[in-house]
Chain A
Amino acid sequence: MRKGAGFPRVGHAERDMDRRGFIKKGLSRLFYIFGGAILAYPALSFMTFKKSRTEKIIFHPDEQQSVLNFKEGVCLVRKGSEAYAFSMRCTHLGCMLNYGAVSQRFQCPCHGSVFDRWGKWISGPAKKDLLRVPFATEKNKDIVVTLDI
């Protein structure tokens, strides 16, 4: 910055120095940008990695007797011969729903979405029906629901 302060005119040597300084500065900046970018990719991959895990929820035969059966945030529906299961997490932003036995509806305590007892959206910001989750029936009649977490 103070280069050439006392000189009335800048000589060739000075100008060369300036140019060299400029190139040097540019190169070092490029080095940092590229170095940062090269490091950022593996770093971000590391930081955002999550091993996929599943959780199993088992409905034993005595836990499948009602039309609606609740266990650990999952609702198992048994309507005659039909059976399906859905997650009781609100499809809006993921709060756990309350089931009102009198109103026979699922209600969200966070922003007020309402679903009917079959998991169909009725009102509120969620807009989508509750998410069906896969399940399998074991030989001993246990129903096993698998959740991705």
Chain B
Amino acid sequence: MAKRGMHISGYFPRLGLASLILCIISGIILTFYYRPMGNVFQNVEEITTLVPYGWFFRQLHYASGQVFVILMLLHTVDHFLRRRYRVYSVGEWNLLIVSLGLCFFTLFTGFILKGDKEGIFAGQIFMNILKSVPFIGAPLSKLFMVPGEGFFFLPYLYHCFFLPVLIIYFLRAHIREWLPDHKFLAFSATGLFLYALIVRPYMDIPPDALVGEVKGPWFFLGIQTLLKTMPATLAGLIIPGLFLLCLLALPLARKEGRSSAPSGQQGREGTARLGEAVLYYLIVGALCAYGILTIRAGIRGP
């Protein structure tokens, strides 16, 4: 329920849930015309130009998806900065972090599904980074994408089915009220409907067009910049992997300290505090650095 004078923190998840509902409804509508086989680019262009109200639903789905994931990111960063990970068990916290990762993965598969030059290249790069994983790369990449005519099929399956179901399943205990408050729903719906009505869809680049620079989705612009100078395994796997590991390990440091506290081992408590502080500032530093990299790439190109 919306409380009078609610703290700003309360708005992120409530508006996010409302956007998610609009995103799922518009996504289901899009699947009635969208086909992940054959000429996907033409199919998406038909949605925008031929199918009645296609432009509206596409724009609504795009905006609600972006808004949902951005709000989830803000919600997580907000709780992280207020050190709220302390109230969760290691397992609970890890499930929430993994769910946020899955939200971004859903956004990324949506970016591929556009079927334009950007989407195809993003898929190609993702597939090749997975292939660069030692030993298991080749089979691992086939779990997510295969080249050829089935290129869009697995991302489609993940986007429309596996990922939304998994996200909802992982968050089932975290979200106490699944039906969004109607004030928040009305606010999100009004904002997103207006956006979809007024803002024309961004021009998609045909797959065979000649363009000097192809950009990835906004949240990967930083990685795209790193890929220019670093080996693919380092920029695409090790650095993001280490960041994720730091996030996952955060409540662990805390727990170690707490469990040893009653026995009066001041030393261990102190080490755990230090461990937590180091991890915390490492994550803040990495987030700031990545933010700067992303903004720079957004302005000057990756």
Q: What 1/0 flags go to A23-48 for Cβ under 8 Å of B?
A: 00000000000000000000010011
CB-CB contacts of B91-117 with A at 8 A, as 1s and 0s? 000000000000000000000000000
CA distance A35 to B138 in the complex (A): 25
The answer to whether A110 and B139 touch across the interface, beta carbons within 8 angstroms, is no
Q: Is the CB of A125 within 8 A of B214?
A: no
For the side of the interface on A, what is the size category?
20 to 34
Chain B interface mostly helix, strand, loop or mixed? helix
User: Once the chains bind, are B124 and A94 in contact (CB under 8 Å)?
Assistant: yes
Contact status of A50 and B146, CB under 8 A, knowing A109-B211, A109-B212: yes
Instruction: For the complex, give the distance between the alpha carbons of A149 and B150 in Å.
Output: 11
**Interface residue total, chain B, C-beta cutoff 8 A:** 27
A124 at the interface (CB under 8 A from B): yes
**Contact A48/B214 with A93-B129, A125-B227 known, Cβ cut-off 8 Å:** no
Does A53 count as interface, using CB distance less than 8 angstroms?
Answer: yes
Chain B min CB distance to A35 (Å): 21
Residue B127 lies at the interface, judged by CB distance under 8 Å to chain A: yes
| Contact mask for chain B residues 230-249; partner A; CB cutoff 8 A; 1 contact, 0 none | 11100000000000000000
Using A49-B142, A98-B212, A125-B231 as known contacts, list a sample of 12 further A-B pairs with CB atoms less than 8 Å apart, ordered by residue number in A: A44-B139, A48-B143, A50-B146, A93-B128, A93-B227, A93-B232, A94-B124, A94-B127, A96-B121, A107-B212, A110-B224, A124-B228
Chain A residues within 8 Å of B, Cβ to Cβ: 44, 47-50, 53, 92-96, 98, 107, 109-112, 124-125, 149
